[in-house]
Structures are given as C-alpha cells and as structure tokens.
Amino acid sequence: MANPSAVCNGHLHHHHHQKQNNLLKSGIHKKNGITKGMKKNGVSNGTVYKKKFVEHFEQAPMYVAVLTFLGFGVGTIFGYLRDFMRAWGLEKRNLAAEREQQKDFVPLYQDFENFYTRNLYMRIRDNWNRPICSVPGPQFDLMERVTDDYNWTFRFTGRIIKNVINMGSYNYLGFAETDVNALKTVTIELQKYGTGICSTRQEMGTLDKHVELEKLVATFLGVEDAMVFGMGFATNSMNIPALVGKGCLILSDELNHTSLVLGARLSGATIRIFKHNNMQSLENLLRDAIVYGQPRSRRAWRKIIILVEGIYSMEGSIVRLPEIVSLKKKYKAYLYLDEAHSIGAVGATGRGVVEYFGMSPDDVDVLMGTFTKSFGAAGGYIAGKKDLVDFLRTHSHSAVYATSMCPPVAEQIIRAMKCLMGLDGTTQGLQRVQQLGKNTRYFRRRLHEMGFIIYGNDDSPVVPLLLYMPGKIGAFARRMLEKNIGVVVVGFPATPITESRARFCVSAAHTREMLDTVLNALDELGDFLHLKYSRYSKSSHPELYEETRLELED
C-alpha cells in the first residue's frame, strides 16, 4: 500500500486539497499498512484528532474558471446594454428612480452598486423566495407562480405543486412535523399559555417554561447554565456586544455568518480575520496580538476572543476544534463557538461538535446555538459557566429589550430535546441522529462516486455541490423543480464569484427512496448540464481515500 500511494501522494497534494490527520508531528510513518508509532501510555503521540478528519475542497479544471468568467463577461456586456437603453428611455425602468424635481440634488440611488442585482439576479430571480404552503418536512407543497415580464413581477396561478422533495430546509433531525401525537404537549401548552408573551425577559417575560427549558439545555450540553433567546440571529448580534467592547480583540474566521460579523462590529472591538479553518493563520494572529498588543498604545489586549462556527453552512466544513482549543489554552484566549448548524446534527448522540471530537464542554468558554435548525422551532441559546450566563441575564441587550421566546415554541424545543436525550422513554431521538448520519454518508458517497465536486467534511449534513457558471444556476434550479425536487442555489454575493453552488441539506426524515430519487435526478441533470467536473471519481480510486497524508496542508 505504501509504494503506489507514495507516487499518488504528490499528485494528490497538487490537485486535491485534502485535510487529514496531522500524524506528521511525531514522525509516524505508514509502511505496508502497519503504523509504527511512538506510543506513550497507549495513546499515539501527536494526534489531536481521535478519528479521521477528511475534508474536500477540490479545485475545478482551469477551463471551468475561464468559461465562468466568459459567462459573466457576456452577462456584464448585456447589462451595460440594458442600462444604456434604460438611461436613454428606449426601455421602461422597473426599479426605483428619483422624481424630476430632484434630478439636481445629490443622487439618491447609486446605479452601479445595484448593477449585478438589476442585470443578472433579476433574470434568475424566480428560483428564490418561493412561497410554500405546508410544513417544511421531507416533502412540501409549493405555490405555483409565473412571470409575464421576465421576473420583474410574479403572479400566482392558484395551483399548488404537491409533494416536492425538500432538499433545502434545515430540518436535520426531522422535527418539523405535524404528527398529532408528537405535538400533543405543544398543543396543551398552547391552550394553557396562548401565543404572546408581551414582555421582555427582565420585566414580566420570564415564564416557568423558560426556566425549565434553560435547565434542560444545560443538562443536554453538559454545562452549568444556559439562557435562551427568542431569535437565533439576535442571539449572536445582541450578545457579542455584551461580552466584548473597546480594547478587546476579536479573531474571526473568514467565512463567519453575518450575525457573528454584525455582533462583532456592534461591539466596537478590533476585528482581525484569519483564513478559513487555517490554524497557522490563527496562530500567527494570536502571536502578533500578544507580542504587539493594542495598535498605538502597545498595551495588552483586555480580552482576546476567537469566533468560530461548528459547521459552516456555505462550505459544509467542520471547525478544527481540538487544535483551536489547544491554541486557546496556550495563548490564553477565549473561544465562542456558534453551533447553529451542528447542534443535533453531528456527534454520536447529537450534542454537536464538542461531542463529535470527543472533547469536554468545559474547553469552550461560550457555547452558542440555535433551535431553528435541528429542533424545528425558533430561537437561540448561550450556555457556559454560571457566572457567564448570570452576566448575560443582566447585561444582554436581548434580555432587556427583546421579547422572550413564546411558550408553544419553548415546549416544542423541550419535547425535541427530551426525545433526543431519551427522557421520553423511547430511543427515537438516537434513531434520528443515527439515521441522519447514515443519510449524510450515503448521500455524500454517491455524489462523490458520480463525479460531482462536493465541498466540506464527510460527516457534515450540509452538502454544497459546485455549479460554477452563472447560466447553470438558473437552469439547475428550474429543472430540479420540474422533477419535483426543491433545491437552494446560491450565487455571487454569498459565495465567491466563480464558485456558485447548490446547497443540499440532508435530513433524518428523508427515506432511502427519496434520496435515491434525488440522486437519480442529479445524475441525469449532471450529464445534461455537464456538472461532473471532479477528476477523482471515488469509485475508480478507492485506495487514495484511505491514505493518511504525512504533510500538513495549508
């Protein structure tokens, strides 16, 4: 096994970004499949990861990038042409414009900033904001809408497209359901409390339901205390300003979610960005911060906090938690982990990335998560030491001003969490987590075998499939809808300009038949649209993926 892989190793290193175990550190070599490692007390030296960490970020062949730019070039030329026609009155203007009397004032609308929206987004706008009219379970019903003037306006025909397979909702454990038996407790609480709270946490908005929920969340995660908020986005943007302020340093990942970025900016602290999931970049920043201190006064930073996410939803990559924790302990920084997509979705019993890597929740200072994704509800939580949570109860903007979570939603989270922990007497929770794991692995394996370029970690239920060219974004989404499958496609502002993608969210509620339907449709569509760019179709090179690389990849 050593010799052929030694040759392939160089090939792999050049083309295939594969991040794996850093067994390099202790110089452990694999010869003929036998690991000759220095073992101390039965634990291999130098391994921070207890199991294989395999991520794929394959680059497409060069001609794909060239053709993508060509496509954007043609789109831009026609955009200029249309703008010219609109400016000279040859075509009707559909966007906002100033009144005649205001023409001499400072311009209100900067035309060029919206160039992309006006000329490229409008053409494929029918693939977003599609209204659905049922619960977003594994299948949903879609309201049919048509456009008469190339996506400037829509009208509903009145028909409903039934049973569209849902590959876009964040329904990882399948708790978005309408089964009467499952929702029994929620109905009881709805009749007992009603729907509105009409107050904030610090006034009259703390109910016994919130106290029960917070205790349950703390037990679930294995921490001292937790606090819940009504909105997931607001949990980040309103609490980070309470935790850090001027004179503090925030080290944030390149691809962090907008809520984290907004919270960091609102806090007024200094923000430095490190490359996505890149530990050398983070370590360099930490060293510089400690050696040089604050910019002008050279004083030590009041606090250094690292903001990362558990699973990054656009890439499907999982954070390198063991390395970050060791860095944080070495340089005495704090860690804020946003588990919006990973809580419930990874880990042997669904307790998130902390359990996935086999670490203790005491290693992470602030554990944050949302209930929107895996629990079928709304809202977020922050958990950690009791001192931290007590501080947030008094100092968070959300606690003072925002309405608290409404009781039926709190009950939905309680029942979902009890199901996950097994406290309702069944093993349904564990079955859901395992089903999600099986579905994820199956889906990813089949897509790799078919030859698509998929990003992200093998264990992440978020699967981005790369489309690259702007023309294919619209074609892909429309044709998938014709086959009765609903997908989410993402283009330029949310992703780099050449890497537009379709993002699939695998759910525990998907049956094998549904996944097979989707995979067959993807196969057909992949051939028709020519999307199978991968040079490493897994079935043809099985040995390359068992290899443990001996170099640390940037």
**Other CB atoms within 10 Å distance of the CB of residue 410:** 28
Q: Which is nearer to other proteins, 512 or 530 (CB)?
A: 530
Q: Which is nearer to other proteins, 76 or 278 (CB)?
A: 76
Stretch that binds other proteins, among 75-83, 165-173, 206-214, 352-360 (CB under 8 A): 75-83
Nearest distance, CB of residue 433 and other proteins, angstroms: 39
Does 272 help bind other proteins (rule: CB under 8 A)?
no
Nearest distance, CB of residue 527 and other proteins, angstroms: 9
User: Quick one: tokens of 293?
Assistant: 């201190």
Q: Within 430-469, which residues bind other proteins (CB under 8 A)?
A: 469
Q: Which one of 147, 528, 541, 551 is in contact with other proteins (CB under 8 A)?
A: 528
Q: Which one of 13, 39, 43, 78 is in contact with other proteins (CB under 8 A)?
A: 78
Q: Within 160-199, which residues bind other proteins (CB under 8 A)?
A: none
Quote the CA–CA distance of 484 and 514 in Å, as a whole number: 11
Quote the CA–CA distance of 287 and 300 in Å, as a whole number: 12
Quote the CA–CA distance of 42 and 92 in Å, as a whole number: 75
**Please, which residues bridge with residue 140 across strands?**
164
Q: Which is nearer to other proteins, 303 or 479 (CB)?
A: 479
Judged by CB under 8 A, how many residues of this single chain contact other proteins?
A: 21
Nearest distance, CB of residue 528 and other proteins, angstroms: 7
Cα→Cα distances 303→110, 248, 286, 444, 511, Å: 40, 5, 12, 40, 48
Q: Within 474-493, which residues bind other proteins (CB under 8 A)?
A: 474-475
Helix axes 428-450, 407-421, angle to 10 degrees: 80
Give per-residue burial for 502-531: e unless 16+ CB within 10 Å, then b.
bbbbbbbbbeeebbebbbebbbebbeeeeb
Stretch that binds other proteins, among 38-46, 282-290, 442-450, 527-535 (CB under 8 A): 527-535
Q: Which is nearer to other proteins, 47 or 76 (CB)?
A: 76
Stretch that binds other proteins, among 394-402, 408-416, 471-479, 502-510 (CB under 8 A): 471-479
Nearest distance, CB of residue 472 and other proteins, angstroms: 5
Nearest distance, CB of residue 165 and other proteins, angstroms: 24
Nearest distance, CB of residue 470 and other proteins, angstroms: 6
Q: Which of 30, 358, 373, 330 is nearest to 172 (CA)?
A: 373
Q: Which is nearer to other proteins, 232 or 471 (CB)?
A: 471
Nearest distance, CB of residue 123 and other proteins, angstroms: 4
Quote the CA–CA distance of 199 and 204 in Å, as a whole number: 6
Stretch that binds other proteins, among 117-125, 167-175, 267-275, 366-374 (CB under 8 A): 117-125
Phi, psi torsion values for 447, nearest 5 degrees: -65, -40
Nearest distance, CB of residue 488 and other proteins, angstroms: 19
**CB-based burial of residue 214 (10 Å sphere; 0-12 exposed, 13-18 middle, 19+ buried)?**
buried
Q: How far is CA 28 from its chain centroid?
A: 34
Does 86 help bind other proteins (rule: CB under 8 A)?
no
Helix axes 184-193, 407-421, angle to 10 degrees: 150
Q: Which one of 530, 535, 543, 551 is in contact with other proteins (CB under 8 A)?
A: 530
Q: How far is CA 155 from its chain centroid?
A: 32
Q: Which is nearer to other proteins, 347 or 470 (CB)?
A: 470
Pairing of strands 334-338, 304-309: parallel
Nearest distance, CB of residue 496 and other proteins, angstroms: 18
Quote the CA–CA distance of 200 and 492 in Å, as a whole number: 38
Q: Which one of 352, 429, 437, 471 is in contact with other proteins (CB under 8 A)?
A: 471
The three-state secondary structure class of 274 is: strand
Q: Who contacts 418 (Cβ-Cβ below 8 Å, separation ≥6)?
A: 216, 424
Q: Which is nearer to other proteins, 54 or 64 (CB)?
A: 64
Nearest distance, CB of residue 73 and other proteins, angstroms: 9
The C-alpha torsion from 194 through 197 and 198 to 204, rounded to 10°, is 130
Does 124 help bind other proteins (rule: CB under 8 A)?
yes
Classify residue 125 as left (phi > 0), alpha (psi -120 to 50) or beta.
alpha
Nearest distance, CB of residue 24 and other proteins, angstroms: 42
Stretch that binds other proteins, among 73-81, 240-248, 264-272, 337-345 (CB under 8 A): 73-81
Stretch that binds other proteins, among 68-76, 102-110, 290-298, 422-430 (CB under 8 A): 68-76
Nearest distance, CB of residue 74 and other proteins, angstroms: 5
Q: Which one of 470, 486, 491, 526 is in contact with other proteins (CB under 8 A)?
A: 470
Does 529 help bind other proteins (rule: CB under 8 A)?
yes
Q: Who contacts 289 (Cβ-Cβ below 8 Å, separation ≥6)?
A: 249, 251, 272, 301, 304
- What are the contacts of 109-113 at 24+ separation with CB within 8 A? 111/83
Stretch that binds other proteins, among 28-36, 213-221, 337-345, 526-534 (CB under 8 A): 526-534
Q: Which is nearer to other proteins, 128 or 150 (CB)?
A: 150
Give me the count of residues in the chain. Answer: 554
Does 70 help bind other proteins (rule: CB under 8 A)?
yes
Nearest distance, CB of residue 335 and other proteins, angstroms: 44
Cα→Cα distances 45→48, 319, 549, 551, Å: 9, 22, 16, 16
Interacting residues toward other proteins by CB under 8 A: 67, 70-72, 74-75, 78, 81, 120, 123-124, 150, 469-472, 474-475, 528-530
